[in-house]
A and B are shown apart, each in its own frame.
Chain A
Amino acid sequence: MAVEFIDIVETSLAGIGTGSLMALTGVAFVIIYKATKVINLAIGEMLMIGAFVFYGFSAGLALPIWASVPLTLVVAALIGGLIERTMIRPLLKDNPVSVFMVTIGLTSVLIGVVELVWSAEPRRLPEFLPSQPVLLGDAFIPSKTAYSFVIAAAAMAVLITVFAFWRGGIALRATATDRAAASSVGIDVPGVFSFSWMLAAVVAALAGILVGSVGGISSAMGLFGLSVFVVVIVGGLDSILGALIAGLFIGWLEAMVGRFMGGEFKLLATFTILLVVLVVRPYGLFGTHEIERL
């Protein structure tokens, strides 16, 4: 069976498009991990709740897109802050296993909330991305994939710039390096914790809107988080650059495997990669070595 070259190119491009969304969600995960050292298993569900809130504004209340998106991000920030304040902070001094299990409980709560409000039915988001397909040379890219890639890339560029130059970003990095030292130079460490969860929730919600507009939304879309999990392990839990590269790679890999081997092999491929990375290089490609001792 001859595989056409153009097919490979198109599949790769589509995969990189999905990968950019994984990378964006991965960045949300890394922000939380960097600041609070919490492994957030509920990142996929935070993405899901963002997508549903957007659905609520844009379809439920039929608000225009330019209002729905900012409103969604504000609500997401509030949800993120609420989670941090009520569930995470009381346990931050405990061992990391407890906090990790709290995020497992959070998974279940968020799925329940979405199903309670919107039911378990899959839904479609209102169309808001331009619909004429994009041609790159001879390769044909579905418009939603292409535009969500552009939006995700722009969002990440903004985030990275902010982290590098803005005071809050510096405070976050200082807290990540040494909490005690950060607080002794006057950084509001609890504030940084809250902020990191709010920011991560916003980023995840944005990713959720994009993922939902490409593939629709449902209470099972948190499964996207499984792939994101692989992304951050492969990239290194505390590395934004790692999340970017691993996100694109895993997205590409899943697309290729899905196209040429069958959809059921997607997760198998990613999780096999995950196991290999865990055993060979547990701190990921770009992660800091010390976190292995966690």
Chain B
Amino acid sequence: MRVGTAKQSYAADEGLFKTDTQKVWFGLLLAALVLFPLNGSSYWMFLAVLVMINVISTTGLNILTGYTGQVSLGHAAFMAVGAYTVAFFDGRFGTPVLLNLVLAGAVAAGIGYLVGLPSLRIKGLYLAIATLAAAVILGFIFLNWTPVTGGLRGLNVPTATIAGIELATPDRLYWLVMPITVVMVLAAKNLFRTRVGRAFIAIRDRDISAEIIGISLFKYKLMSFAISSFYAGVAGGLWAYLFRVVTPESFPALASIFFLAAVIVGGAGTIVGGIFGAVFMTLIPEFLKLSATALVPWFPDASIYLAPVRNIIFGLLIIGFLIFEPMGLAEMWRRTRRYFALWPFRT
């Protein structure tokens, strides 16, 4: 925040972007997103699509965990619900892509609502354990409800087709995923400019005051669960169109930890934090892969250490950020900006 920004009116102060600098930055980001495909590498396009899918999902978890303070250990299971929904409807009925994605979100939201129901009775970490139970039960359903989920072998997903154009490659899928990501992130940002978002934060800061000002804890916790699962469902649906196959192995329990890590590392309770976290956490394994390839001349079997090293790094990032920078990368970014904003006159 710059010192002494003169505000024209409250409307400006209540705006999505509070200063002109922020608007410029957002414009640049949009331009970069539009121009990004010019790099022409299908590897980078694949990665970009994956990053954006993870941004959507992380934003969803951030709404629930970062803003509402409810830890979910089953976020990946809701993504799986979205992925199966898309695979089922597109594969079985050939319904339109956008409809499938909305259905993916809606089915996941419905199940998220159910999972939130125990919050009428239980609080805090007990609720986290209920989400773990829900994830286990969902995993059971994926594996055993063969007529719908294809059982162990899972489902193949048709190519996403919009207006006759087949989005068969990441290059093309990009133009579906990117706008959806932008819209969903902005929607989440909007949410926290209103009474609904404020109620979520009030529940997180968990004071008797939430009750005294007339917030129904139950209603808003359920709402947060549903919204968070909606985001996960849409992300899972897009994931299905990217990978074209969904199996019970697609979203293992460790994937839920991945998203928790993204929220924590990025910065719980800020939208930009969710983006940072998702980008960072998605790129780490890729970076590791590149390093392993580079090391092959010296360590021929470097690649077999990839998965374990990734797990260790994910875990250490969660622990390290919680201990040393609980506000995450978003806070580091804020500090850096402030440093440079005052740069020649720093104190």
A–B proximity contact (CB within 8 A): yes
**Chain A residues proximal to chain B, CB less than 8 Å:** 39, 87, 90-91, 94, 96-98, 100-102, 104-116, 119-120, 226, 229, 233, 264-265, 267-268, 271-272, 274-275, 278-279, 282, 292-294
B311 lies within 8 A of A112 (CB): yes
CB distance B122 to A226 under 8 Å? Answer: no
Chain A residues whose CB sits within 8 angstroms of the CB of B304 once the complex forms: 119
Best-surrounded residue of B73, B129, B261, B305 (most CB of chain A within 10 A): B129
User: Interface extent on B, as a size class?
Assistant: 35 or more
Within 8 Å CB of A294, what residues of B? 123-126
Residue on A nearest B318 in the bound complex, by CB: A105
Query: In the complex, how many angstroms separate the beta carbon of B310 from the nearest chain A beta carbon?
Result: 7
Tell me whether chain B's interface is mostly helix, strand or loop, or mixed. Answer: helix
Our pick among A109, A112, A275, A279 for the contact of B319 (Cβ within 8 Å) is: A109
Measured CB to CB, the closest approach of chain B to A111, in angstroms, equals: 5
**B294 located at the interface, meaning its Cβ lies under 8 Å from any Cβ of chain A in the complex:** no
Interchain CB contact under 8 A, A105 and B136: no
Flag if B308 contacts A108 (CB, 8 Å): no
Once the chains are docked, how many angstroms separate the CA of A36 from the CA of B134? 27
CA distance A87 to B310 in the complex (A): 19
Q: Is the CB of B69 within 8 A of A97?
A: yes
A-B residue pairs in contact (CB < 8 Å), sample of 30: A91-B322, A96-B124, A96-B125, A97-B71, A97-B124, A100-B125, A101-B71, A101-B260, A101-B318, A102-B318, A104-B73, A105-B257, A105-B314, A105-B318, A106-B319, A107-B257, A108-B315, A108-B318, A109-B319, A111-B308, A112-B309, A115-B308, A233-B129, A265-B140, A274-B129, A278-B118, A278-B126, A294-B124, A294-B125, A294-B126
* A271 in contact with B71 (CB, 8 Å): no
> Is B61 an interface residue, CB under 8 A from the partner?
no
A-facing residues in B137-165 (Cβ within 8 Å): 137, 140, 143-144
Q: Which residues of chain B (104-127) have a CB below 8 Å from chain A?
A: 118, 121-126
Is A275 in contact with B130, judged by CB distance below 8 angstroms? yes
Q: Contact check: which of A98, A108, A275, A293 meets B118 at CB < 8 Å? A: A275
Given contacts A101-B264, A268-B140, A271-B137, contact A109 B316 (CB under 8 A): yes
Cβ-defined contact, B307 with A108, below 8 A: no
Q: Is residue B210 within 8 Å, beta carbon to beta carbon, of the partner chain?
A: no
> In the complex, what residues of A have CB within 8 A of residue B128's CB?
100
- Asked whether A105 lies within 8 Å of B126 as measured between CB atoms, the reply is no
Q: Cβ of B183 < 8 Å from any Cβ of A?
A: no
* B132 interface residue (CB < 8 Å to A): yes
Option from A110, A114, A271 in Cβ contact (under 8 Å) with B136: A271
Query: In whole angstroms, what is the CA distance A97 to B310 when docked?
Result: 24
Given known pairs A105-B261, A106-B319, the reply for A278 and B130 (CB within 8 Å) is: yes
Q: A109, B312: Cβ atoms under 8 Å?
A: yes
B261 CB to closest chain A CB (Å) equals: 7
